[in-house]
Amino acid sequence: MPDKKKLDNSQVFQLLWGCALLLMGLAFFFRIPEVMQQLAEKEHFFGTWYVRLSMYLVSIMLIGGGGKKLYNVLGRSSDPETADAPESNRDAESTEANASKTNADNPPD
């Protein structure tokens, strides 16, 4: 059975921030019809399709950003190879692996 690692302070903060983004995106998504009805009642309001599209886009971005944060914290912490390495080291390792694979595919003349 794999050992469960504890999250450090920055990971806990990122986890809470991801949850907040996700919940805010969901709340905003379900509140849009009510807000649009209030805006439609005003006389000088125009471009409802543009405002509705923009609001849904913002809510989808909030949901996506929160989901990505949750995946980065929870998904990577369960991977034993990358859990201990800082993100910059993970990027460097993947770049080196890709470079060595490319060199193996294309030997020098």
Per-residue pLDDT of 45-86, as tens digits, reads 667 788 889 999 999 999 999 999 999 998 875 555 554 555
Per-residue pLDDT of 1-46, as tens digits, reads 555 678 788 899 999 999 999 999 999 999 999 988 888 787 666 6
Residue 63 belongs to some domain of the structure: yes
Residue 13 belongs to some domain of the structure: no
Residue 42 belongs to some domain of the structure: yes
Residue 85 belongs to some domain of the structure: no
**Tally of structural domains, the chain:** 1
Residue 35 belongs to some domain of the structure: yes
Cα distances from 59 to residues 3, 63, 67, in angstroms, run: 36, 6, 12
Residue 40 belongs to some domain of the structure: yes
Structural domain range at position 42 = 24-76
Per-residue pLDDT of 79-97, as tens digits, reads 555 545 555 555 555 556 5
State the alpha helices, DSSP H only, in the chain: 9-40, 48-70, 76-77, 87-105
